[in-house]
Amino acid sequence: MNPARNLILVGPMGAGKTCIGRLLAEHYRLRLLDADHEIERHTGTTIARIFECEGEAGFRSRERAMLETLLGDDDLLLATGGGAVLDPLNRALLRARGFVVHLRISPAQQLERLRDDRSRPLLARPDREAVLRQMAGVRDPLYAEVADLAFDTGSLTAGEAARRLQHELDLHWQRNGATA
């Protein structure tokens, strides 16, 4: 049992990190932070614009710095960006600073959930399904590497997923003496 004071959600885009995170943060009385939203708030621009101006490498550098800042605190629920696990330093930081839950979803389920979403720079390509499958091939082992718990969200609504995940967390996560 990982006695971390923070709960961290990792997983691919569309897995429900922000929506499920909101419900879990309320239940556990944690402060919800979404890493991508915090980057946008801090920079005053969108993730898409950062990708456009600085490329993925520039965005990943900003993401690393933001994760270091955010995870300096305790008693938070952090919803990471889907690619946060690509950086080995991020993976070490996530493992060290929280109980990490990998929200799993298949590329086909992602495609369905993201069919109308045009805000994601890495999906601004003609063959979105191929992109999602390629990203899953690279990222899924990294999510598994950092995760204390894996949970499938693909066939569940955010509310159903949060209720079921809450049960799993009650069994596997102890907030270092804090009460939930």
Binding site for substrate, by residue number, is 36, 60, 82, 139
Count of Cβ atoms closer than 10 Å to residue 89 Cβ: 10
Token pair for 78: 């952090």
**Sequence-separated (6 or more) residues with CB below 8 Å from residue 119:** 46, 47, 48
Residue with tokens 């690279």: 138
> C-alpha 146: how far from its chain's center?
12
- Work out whether strand 149-152 and strand 76-79 pair parallel, antiparallel, or are unpaired: unpaired
List, as residue ranges, the binding site for ATP: 14-19, 120
Question: Which parts are annotated binding residues?
Answer: 14-19, 36, 60, 82, 120, 139
Name the binding residues for Mg(2+).
18
